[in-house]
Amino acid sequence: MHVDGSVSGNAEMGMSGVSGPDTVAAWARVKRRLRAELGEDVFASWFARLELVEVVDGTARLTVPTRFLKSWIESHYLDRVLNTFRSEVESVSRLDVSVRGPSAAVRPATSTPKTSNAASPLARLQAAGNTMPSHGESSVGSDSETHPAPRGDAGGDLNGAPLDNRLTFASFVVGRSNALAHAAAERVARHDGQGALYNPLYFHAGVGLGKTHLLHGIGHAARESGRRVIYLTADRFMYGFVNALKTQNALAFKERLRAIDLLILDDVQFIQGKSIQAEFGHTINALIDAGRQVVVASDRPPTELEALEERVRSRLAGGLVVEIGTLDEQLRTSILSARLAAVQVSHPSFEVSPTVATYVARAITANGRDLEGAVNRLLAHATLTGAAVTMETAEAAIRDLVKNREPKRIKIEDIQKLVASRYNVSRSDILSERRTAAVVKPRQIAMYLSKVLTLRSLPEIGRRFGGRDHTTVLHAVRKIDKLIGEDNVLNDEVELLKRMLQD
């Protein structure tokens, strides 16, 4: 099948029964326009193997190689294809998309090697009747509703990250700050009814507060019930998609990812790249629309994922969003006790007095990983020196953990609200286009503080301030930085705002 408009008859086009050469040429123009309007990536993913069979009584019969491709085109692009076709052939009033059999393999294109290479591996596998390879514990699995994915790079990229056998619901310590997240995770993992629960389920929290532990616990419990699960970190998702594009197996990658019952994606805030973000959004939509469960974790709520498109953020926020709060002292004590008990199984002589344990739980407030590090330090001291763990040795062992407490995570929204309140303007004034002196000054101060106190880039800050350009933010940062060096009153004001935000 040609996709660039260069045709030499029905035999070369692989479209038996087409109503004359004029229709063949019109279809080639339709494909050419779709490629120009939607871009090469979208065209190669969804339209490269869309074939015209015939036009009869105003109905254009089209075929695709898989049910998933048929469903996706009908759900997202049918009207666009119809309108484009109608502009070329006025008599076409409707489209009929069907799935062609394995024997109707796509012919390699002679003038577009990129498209033919992308199509031929999957077509060959469909013709040969290959089945999806098994990958042990991380296998996505297959059933009668899914089409075979090619072996090789695209398949290997979807092995997913392995689940840690230590991170189960049984080993998760529940407290006030994570009780809701734990309950939602267990309900989703053990759900055996139709459809999905709280879809998507979205966890967000700072480092070391239990997000990943819950994700692994969901994965283990769901697999035990026989569900097809894949756990991916953001970097593994990105690598898999990019590698599938390079090896021209992108469609197989998409189809196999959508064939699962439960997708677990960790650290979604790290997903970057326009095409990768678009594919992430398509994947989320396809799974949710099909009633498959999606569980996502990030270090911030969906509304603060500035790098993602608004429609993707909205989709993520449309399910159950649960924040895992900081660990209170009671929960830290429970986590520490559980870890000490686990270590004592393999080191019976290792003992930590209740007084020392209480001190450690009170001194380390950042996250559970630091508590894990404290136990490892105390164990090292006891095993290497042979001395008992005292308060003095505990203080020395965890000194660096106490000093390096995680700073408070400051939100741009909080900065805008505080600055607006301080200068007697509204937050909407700061985000507006108003350029009066009473509004410009607090707006610039808020931009400056956003740059100094958060890790957000200039373009991200600009988007959070009413969609302003990054150069506007840069100008504000430079201006306030210059003024606080010249004006002691302004310097004191800005320092006070910093302290208020950091406390």
Q: What is the mean pLDDT of residues 235-259?
A: 77
197 vs 126 pLDDT, higher one = 197
SS3 content of the chain, % helix, strand, coil (to 5): 55, 10, 35
Helix axes 234-246, 274-289, angle to 10 degrees: 110
Encoded tokens for 411:
């939100």
What's the pLDDT score for residue 41? 62
Q: What is the mean pLDDT of residues 24-38?
A: 85
What's the pLDDT score for residue 8? 33
- Each as own residue / partner, the long-range contacts of residues 413-421 (CB below 8 Å, 24 or more positions apart, any chain) are 413/464, 414/501, 415/446, 415/449, 415/450, 415/453, 415/454, 415/501, 416/446, 416/464, 416/465, 418/497, 418/500, 418/501, 419/445, 419/446, 419/449, 419/497, 420/446
Question: In the sheet that 293-298 helps form, which strands lie side by side, from edge to edge?
Answer: 229-233, 262-266, 293-298, 201-204, 320-323
Q: Which of 341, 348, 298 is nearest to 323 (CA)?
A: 298
Question: Are the C-beta atoms of 188 and 197 separated by less than 8 Å?
Answer: yes
Whether omega before 200 lies within 30 degrees of 0, making that bond cis, reads: yes
Q: What is the mean pLDDT of residues 472-477?
A: 93
Q: Where are the alpha helices (H) located in 56-104, listed in sequence order?
A: 67-76, 78-88
The DSSP secondary-structure symbol of 275 reads H
Name the 3-class secondary structure at 52.
strand
What's the pLDDT score for residue 213? 94
Contacts of 71 (CB under 8 A, 6+ apart): none
Strand 94-99 vs strand 262-266: parallel, antiparallel, or unpaired? Answer: unpaired
Give strand ranges (E) for 195-241. 201-204, 229-233
Per-residue pLDDT band for 151 (boundaries 50, 70, 90) equals very low
Dist. CA 453–CA 480, nearest whole Å: 14
Encoded tokens for 198:
């709280």
What's the pLDDT score for residue 18? 41
Question: In the sheet that 59-64 helps form, which strands lie side by side, from edge to edge?
Answer: 51-56, 59-64, 94-99
Question: Are the C-beta atoms of 266 and 232 separated by less than 8 Å?
Answer: yes
Dist. CA 275–CA 285, nearest whole Å: 15
Name the 3-class secondary structure at 132.
coil
Dist. CA 174–CA 209, nearest whole Å: 11
What's the pLDDT score for residue 102? 47
Per residue in 169-222, pLDDT tens? 998 989 888 999 999 999 999 887 676 778 899 999 888 889 999 999 999 999
Question: Are the C-beta atoms of 422 and 399 separated by less than 8 Å?
Answer: no
Residue with tokens 């599938």: 244
Per-residue pLDDT band for 136 (boundaries 50, 70, 90) equals very low
Q: What is the mean pLDDT of residues 57-75?
A: 82
Q: What is the mean pLDDT of residues 446-458?
A: 90
Question: Containing H/E element for 180?
Answer: helix 179-189
Residue 120 has pLDDT above 50, yes or no: no
Encoded tokens for 81:
């294809």
Per residue in 476-503, pLDDT tens? 999 998 999 888 889 888 988 988 887 6
Question: Are the C-beta atoms of 30 and 5 separated by less than 8 Å?
Answer: no
Q: Which of 381, 362, 384 is nearest to 371 (CA)?
A: 362
- Each as own residue / partner, the long-range contacts of residues 427-432 (CB below 8 Å, 24 or more positions apart, any chain) are 430/465, 431/465, 431/466, 432/466
Phi, psi (degrees; rounded to nearest 5) at 398: -105, 15
Specify the length of the chain in residues: 503
Q: What is the mean pLDDT of residues 452-457?
A: 87
What's the pLDDT score for residue 95? 92
Residue 109 has pLDDT above 50, yes or no: no
Per-residue pLDDT band for 43 (boundaries 50, 70, 90) equals confident
Dist. CA 205–CA 185, nearest whole Å: 15
Name the 3-class secondary structure at 436.
coil
What's the pLDDT score for residue 101? 63
Residue 390 CA, distance from chain mean position: 45
Name the 3-class secondary structure at 51.
strand
Dist. CA 236–CA 143, nearest whole Å: 24
Residue 167 has pLDDT above 70, yes or no: yes
Per-residue pLDDT band for 117 (boundaries 50, 70, 90) equals very low
- Of 39-53, 153-167, 362-376, 450-464, the range with the lowest mean pLDDT is 153-167
